[in-house]
Amino acid sequence: MPTPLFPPMTTKPSWQVSDDTGQAGIALDAILIGCLSFCGLIALILWYDNAQGITGNGVFKALQLKPWAQTPATASLDPSNYLYFPIVGRLCALLDLAGIYPGDPRRQMTVVHAASAAACLSTMYLFVRHLTRDRTIAWLAALFHLAGGFFLNLAISNEDIMPSYTLMFVAMAVAGMWFTRPSVRRVVIVAVLFTLAWLFEWRLMFPTLPAMVLALALAPGRPMARVGWIATFLMSCLGVVALLQLLWGGQPGNPYRLIDLIWTAKGVESGWAGFTAAKWWFLWVGISETLLGGRNVGELASLPLYAPEMTVAALVILALAAGVLLLFWRNRLAPQTRILVAIFGGTFAAGEVMNVYSQPQDPQMQINVMLWLTIAAALITAHAARSQRRAALLAFGCVSAGILAYNVHALAATRGEDTLWRNTLQRVEEHVPPAKSFLLVHGFESLVSQTYYHWNGDWKFFDTLGPAPTPGTKFKVLALVSGAVNRPRLTGPELAAELEQQILQAMALGYDVVAVDLWNWSRDKMESSLSTVADRSKSDALYDMLHTRFNGTPVYDDPVAGPFVRLTPVAGPR
């Protein structure tokens, strides 16, 4: 009988390159990786000089975080980030005492996130060392993970995902080690880690919850024992949530019902939700940029610009996927194979379905879903090292270093924006006085996040706004995406009529409504810019309303923020 190409492994998996199960150097290596990577990331933060990085989300979270750093007793909890603001807020308070970016949580968050990323890399080392029993491969796995486009960007920016992501990876890694031989104690510990992770960021529950349940369903043991472990896992999760809710007591924002923490419905009733053809293109963007580039590409028109980068990344990812699937097939009878496939493969499958429904191009939506990349690269290298060790290690090291160099180079395109925007806002205030002006913006551009933070923004300003001027309320914007995101059921004409009414209301209060560069966009550019949250009919309706109901007079052209155009209503009957 001929020998099969990939004979099944029933004992030691083929990615375990040695029998060394000792602890020599493990703790020291993990500490060293954490310290080196933290110092390196801090150096990158200082060099990058761009706290908000590739997204503006963290800027908005920074103002929400401030009360937790300054007056925690009266600060409000956020069910979707139940633990993030209290814990990171107190860490920012410690940074205040240490004199590190005092009073500036927007930049303090980057330090906290760099520490979280360093802990994640130490965890990666420990997990890969456990899987492969190889110290060198574990070091290279930490380097490969650091090099990834989204990981590197999010590790040095104030986007709020990194602490949750790190905790979730710890839970997945511990499950990957322990669920080959589950016990009640082990299941409870993993459940606690998992729950703490998604209480930092609610959305992270959904990709990994079915993966954890699947891993326990496939774990070695009697069927009734597996049912018991699953029940123990789920009840432990509920127990942690209930206990924390009880401990917070009367803290402002603490939900009265347990279900309001388990299901916060964040983003469900918004323009981000729903399946569209464009999101399949954005899925390609999100998956490929996870590895190379690390850009948050939100316009379909930008895809040709990054197509070579995304194509190379996609080919590498497909090669890793094919290689690790063949490796898992070869080791299909090993219990560890089933657990790894369930946890990391299950998170990927469930996560990408969720991402196609929401924001597949967003870095914080992809980073935890694509965790399998580093695991796959490490296992393939370990398997190859059994016969060609030097070549396998050299290839893994060179690829990791090359990806890191490429992604650091990509960061340079947005380097220095903190200093740049501080100077820009001073110029903008001189030509477009914020006390008596509304800005008509797209909603996703840097101008919005920068003015929101530096002008102490509040999205509810319109509810209590009086006549112009209002020196105490500098942040006043009307955004094209606002209606599309927050009122997705409205038709194009309804969205356009709502925005027109808001513009006219601002003018009636005596404010100048000043549009940014969107006034000069073509119809196609308008559609492309809204493609993540609205279809062509909505973008056309907004475009037609702006250019038929209003005239534009140039006010100021800034070298960074672009042109500013004052709007006036078109005279005559409508």
The sign of the CA dihedral 411, 119, 449, 48 is: negative
Predicted confidence at residue 563, as pLDDT, reads 94
What single letter denotes the amino acid at residue 533?
V
Of the residues 385, 414, 443, the one at which a domain ends: 414
Q: Note the pLDDT tens digit of each residue in 334-351.
A: 999 999 999 999 999 999
Strand 550-558 relative to strand 562-569, pairing:
antiparallel
Question: Which residues, 6+ apart, have CB-to-CB distance to 567 below 8 Å?
Answer: 440, 503, 513, 514, 515, 519, 550, 551, 552
* Contact (Cβ atoms closer than 8 angstroms) between residue 485 and residue 444: no
pLDDT on residue 345: 97
DSSP for 3-19, please give it. PPSS---SSS-TT----
What local confidence, expressed as pLDDT, does residue 272 receive?
65
Total structural domains within the chain = 2
pLDDT in tens, 252-294: 999 989 999 999 877 666 666 677 888 899 999 999 999 999 9
Q: What is the pLDDT of residue 488?
A: 85
Assess whether pLDDT exceeds 90 at residue 9: no
- Report pLDDT for 183: 95
* Same-domain status, 481 and 388: no
Q: Tell me what pLDDT residue 54 has.
A: 80
464, pLDDT greater than 60: yes
Is 373 in contact with 290 (CB distance < 8 Å)? yes
Tell me the mean pLDDT in the region 359-369.
91
- Provide mean pLDDT across the span 542-562: 93
User: Is 440 domain-assigned?
Assistant: yes
Q: How confident is the model at residue 326 (pLDDT cuts 50, 70, 90)?
A: very high
Q: Are residues 391 and 508 in the same domain?
A: no
CA–CA distance, 426 with 364 (Å, rounded to integer): 31
Q: How many CB atoms lie within 10 A of CB 259?
A: 10
Are 313 and 349 members of one domain?
A: yes
What is the mean predicted confidence (pLDDT) over 189-195? 98
Mean pLDDT across the chain: 91
Per the DSSP assignment, residues forming a β-bridge with 564 are 556
Phi, then psi, of 410 in degrees rounded to 5: -65, -30
pLDDT surpasses 60 at 516: yes
* C-alpha torsion sign, points 115, 121, 125, 126: positive
Judgement on whether residues 143 and 233 belong to the same structural domain of the protein: yes
Quick one: 430 exposed, middle or buried, by C-beta within 10 A (0-12, 13-18, 19+)? exposed
pLDDT of the residue at 10: 46
Q: How far is CA 325 from CA 37, 341, 375, in A?
A: 31, 9, 12
Asked if the model's pLDDT at residue 22 lies above 80, the reply is no
The CB density around residue 141, as the number of other CB atoms within 10 Å, is 28
The verdict on 152 and 60 lying in the same domain is: yes
Q: How sure is the predictor about 21, in pLDDT bands with cuts at 50, 70 and 90? A: low
The answer to whether residue 23 sits within a structural domain is no
Contact 373, 164 (CB under 8 A): no
Q: pLDDT digits over 49-90, tens only?
A: 998 888 777 788 888 899 999 999 999 999 999 999 999 999
**What pLDDT digit, counting tens, does each position of 98-144 carry?**
999 999 999 999 999 999 999 999 999 999 999 999 999 999 999 99
Q: How far is CA 530 from CA 28, 59, 60, 233, 524, in A?
A: 49, 21, 21, 41, 10
Can you give the pLDDT at residue 267?
Answer: 65
Contact 52, 417 (CB under 8 A): yes
| Span 519-533, pLDDT tens digits | 999 999 999 888 888
291 is a domain residue: yes
Calculate what percentage of the chain has a pLDDT beyond 90: 72
Of 410, 391, 390, which Cα lies nearest the Cα of 402? Answer: 410
DSSP bridge partners of 568: 551
Same domain, 447 and 320: no
Cβ-contact 373, 400 below 8 angstroms: no
- Backbone torsion region of residue 293, taken as left when φ is above 0, otherwise alpha when ψ lies between -120 and 50, otherwise beta: left
In this predicted structure, the answer to whether residue 5 has a pLDDT above a threshold of 60 is no
pLDDT for the residue numbered 271 = 65
Question: CA-CA distance, 66 to 409, in Å (whole number)?
Answer: 32
Q: Are the C-beta atoms of 369 and 347 separated by less than 8 Å?
A: yes
Q: Mean per-residue pLDDT for 465-481?
A: 89
Whether 266 and 320 map to the same domain: the answer is yes
- 7 part of a folded domain: no
Asked whether residue 21 is assigned to any structural domain, the reply reads no
Q: Would the pTM count as exceeding 0.95?
A: no
Q: Per residue in 287-314, pLDDT tens?
A: 999 999 999 888 888 888 999 999 999 9
The dihedrals phi and psi of 468, each to the nearest 5 degrees, come to -70, 150
Residue 87 in any domain: the answer is yes
> CB atoms < 10 A from the CB of 504, how many?
15
d(CA 492, CA 523): 14
Whole-number Cα distances in Å, 214 to 219, 328, 429: 9, 17, 56
Judgement on whether residues 497 and 531 belong to the same structural domain of the protein = yes
Q: Are residues 151 and 97 in the same domain?
A: yes
Which pLDDT value is given to residue 462?
Answer: 81
pLDDT at residue number 8: 43
Question: Is residue 14 in a domain?
Answer: no
Q: Which residues pair with 565 in a beta bridge?
A: 515, 554
Q: Is residue 179 part of a domain?
A: yes
Last residue of a domain, one of 387, 414, 441: 414
Statement to judge: residues 329 and 458 lie in one domain: no
Residues near 243 by Cβ (< 8 Å), separated by ≥ 6? none
Compute CA distances 454 → 63, 290, 457, 512, 570, whole Å: 10, 30, 8, 20, 34
Q: Which pLDDT belongs to residue 16?
A: 84
Given a cut of 70, whether residue 573 has pLDDT beyond it is no
Q: Does residue 491 share a domain with residue 438?
A: yes
pLDDT value, residue 275: 78
Question: Using CB atoms within 10 A of its CB, is residue 91 exposed (0-12), middle (13-18) or buried (19+)?
Answer: buried
Last residue of a domain, one of 386, 414, 442: 414
Q: Is the pLDDT assigned to residue 1 strictly greater than 80? A: no
Domain residues for 486? 417-569
CB-count burial class (<10 Å; 0-12, 13-18, 19+) for 164: buried
339 and 258 belong to one structural domain: yes
